A and B are shown apart, each in its own frame.
Chain A
Amino acid sequence: MGKSISIDRVGKTYGTLEALSPTSFDIAEGEFVSIVGPSGCGKSTLLRLIAGLDLASRGTVAIAGRTVDKPETDVGIVFQRPVLLDWRSVIDNVMIQAEARRLPREAYLQRSRELLKAAGLDGFETAYPHQLSGGMSQRVSVCRALVHDPSLLLMDEPFGALDALTRDQMMIDLQKLWLRSRPTVLFVTHSVQEAVFLSDRIIVMAPRPGRVDATLTVDLPRPRRLAMRGAPAFNRLVDDILARFQRMGVLSDDADQTEEAERAPVQ
């Protein structure tokens, strides 16, 4: 089960550049929250602050009531790129979590195999990263983030570098894996579709300086299916968020049409 996160007037400046203006919100235990926003809105910064990989210039981040002041370890992180260790096989890439935490090897080997199987990587345990496609590599990195059953899953545009078809499959698989153990998830993305499909709640951020523009609740039943993206309730949320981007002036006409085109095939 997940831990709660409390963000209290957290801000970050790099030199004179304000990356994130003071921001506050709370995330409940086991909640799936997405952060959407254009680039430069401080969403990745926020993620790093929560992970304790970077320290806030002001304000406090607390996880389950404890202030974050060093790298969090009860956490699984998925980056935009898979960040697999090239010199380790697939199973060893997943097992590095268990090694680092000195967890019992046999039990976690078993668990790693199960996870890889659930992620559709059955039979690739002994392959090396260079033998995998981009989508497969990212699946391995999701397994690596989940194998030690963390209370908190942080994902920084994890499907951003994948093709549309693979992205859809990854969304389904992620939802399935998340429903199994229900960690708290913070999912950073620039895809509005992805955010609405996966989240309980969506935090819309605005850029320069990064700040929270709105928080929206997604009231759709789970497990969600790909076909749900055609539903009126789904599209109302997507349109609402896109309209906000337009008001921020970060969505020009061309980009707008791209978003429309992305949505067209499922309708």
Chain B
Amino acid sequence: MSETQTLARPSRATEMIRSNARALYPLLSLLLIGLAWQLGVVLFEPAPYLLPSPASVFTVIVAQFETLLYHTGITAFETTLAFLLSIVVAVPLAFAIARYRWCENMVYPLLVMSQAIPKVALAPLVIVWLGFGLGTKVMIGVLVAFFPVVVSTVVGLKSVPQDMVHLGRSMGLSEAEIFRKIYLPASLPSIFGGLKVCITLAVVGAVVGEFVGADRGLGYLILLASGQLQTALMFAALFFLVIIGVVSFALVQWAERALMPWHSSVRQDAA
């Protein structure tokens, strides 16, 4: 397999440089927004509980770094579990839906209907069932996040060209082999589309879970800081929440590149 990689290599180096350059632009706009914010606070002097200055948020981050890190770890852990569990639930379900007509007829409409229920409204019910522990946060995360993975996986599986399946049959591949060698890799691009939505929603789910009942995690910290009008701490917690979102999204994207370097969505030359 290693010899098959050689042609892709030179483009990967240029890709690194280009993506690094691209990463500078959002950082630059963030810096500008921060400067404008600081300037606004200096000029208009709002009460610190309404709008703290970026500098004071930074001070809080430094002073309470360990606390923030602890709660970030909790929320990140919940997010990860919710994400992984979403995959475990959604992908096999999508395969069943794509493979068996009766499953599609029975399950898919219900699934679509269930999405009309605001998941936040289900949170109190989940607490009644699962209590105030880790399970509740993960469950809410899964409820919020698994649906896009189901939809995108079904779409991916159904758009595998008929000829490709015929090809597999004519080579004498078994159903399991056709699934593994054709359906799965062919639908990976769609699956990853769903996973990218899933990971951001998993963060939302975890925080919702912490809002309705928790004694740790960034959602809990935000509620606590809100109750005590420690607005700077709220901003600090939000900042760490953003980091969780961005880093987890980047990890999914990295996995996408690693698993399917051949696909146009991750290739430089296809842009």
Residues of chain A whose beta carbon lies under 8 Å from any beta carbon of chain B: 48, 51, 53, 71-73, 75-77, 79, 81, 83, 85-87, 89, 91-92, 96-97, 100-101, 126-131
Determine whether the beta carbon of A85 is less than 8 Å from that of B185: yes
Determine whether the beta carbon of A87 is less than 8 Å from that of B262: yes
Cβ-defined partner of A73 (8 Å) among B7, B170, B185, B270 = B170
| A126 CB to nearest chain B CB (Å) | 5
Given contacts A83-B164, A87-B260, A100-B177, contact A75 B170 (CB under 8 A): yes
Cβ-defined partner of A89 (8 Å) among B4, B170, B263 = B4
Q: Does B172 contact A (CB under 8 A)?
A: yes
Residues of chain B whose beta carbon lies under 8 Å from any beta carbon of chain A: 3-8, 161, 163-164, 166-173, 177, 181-182, 185-186, 188, 260, 262-264, 267, 269-270
Given contacts A79-B163, A81-B163, A83-B163, contact A100 B171 (CB under 8 A): yes
| A78 CB to nearest chain B CB (Å) | 10
Determine whether the beta carbon of A96 is less than 8 Å from that of B7: no
Cβ-defined partner of A53 (8 Å) among B8, B169, B185 = B169
| A105 CB to nearest chain B CB (Å) | 13
Determine whether the beta carbon of A101 is less than 8 Å from that of B185: no
Determine whether the beta carbon of A130 is less than 8 Å from that of B267: yes
Determine whether the beta carbon of A53 is less than 8 Å from that of B6: no
In the bound complex, CA of A154 to CA of B140 (Å): 53
In the bound complex, CA of A151 to CA of B164 (Å): 21
In the bound complex, CA of A87 to CA of B184 (Å): 11
Determine whether the beta carbon of A127 is less than 8 Å from that of B185: no
Cβ-defined partner of B172 (8 Å) among A51, A73, A87 = A73
Q: Which residue of A lies closest to B168 (CB)?
A: A100
| B163 CB to nearest chain A CB (Å) | 5
Which residues of chain A are near B188, meaning CB under 8 Å? 87
Determine whether the beta carbon of B166 is less than 8 Å from that of A53: yes
Which residues of chain A are near B172, meaning CB under 8 Å? 71, 73, 100-101
Determine whether the beta carbon of A131 is less than 8 Å from that of B170: no
Which of B8, B170, B186 has its CB near the most chain A CB atoms (within 10 A)? Answer: B170
| B184 CB to nearest chain A CB (Å) | 10
Cβ-defined partner of A85 (8 Å) among B6, B164, B264 = B164
Determine whether the beta carbon of A97 is less than 8 Å from that of B262: no
Which residues of chain B are near A92, meaning CB under 8 Å? 4
Determine whether the beta carbon of A83 is less than 8 Å from that of B4: no
Determine whether the beta carbon of A128 is less than 8 Å from that of B262: yes
Determine whether the beta carbon of B3 is less than 8 Å from that of A130: no
Report 18 cross-chain contacts, Cβ distance below 8 Å, ordered by A residue. A48-B166, A53-B169, A71-B166, A71-B169, A71-B172, A72-B170, A77-B166, A79-B167, A85-B164, A86-B186, A96-B171, A100-B172, A100-B173, A126-B4, A126-B5, A130-B262, A130-B264, A130-B269
Determine whether the beta carbon of A83 is less than 8 Å from that of B173: no
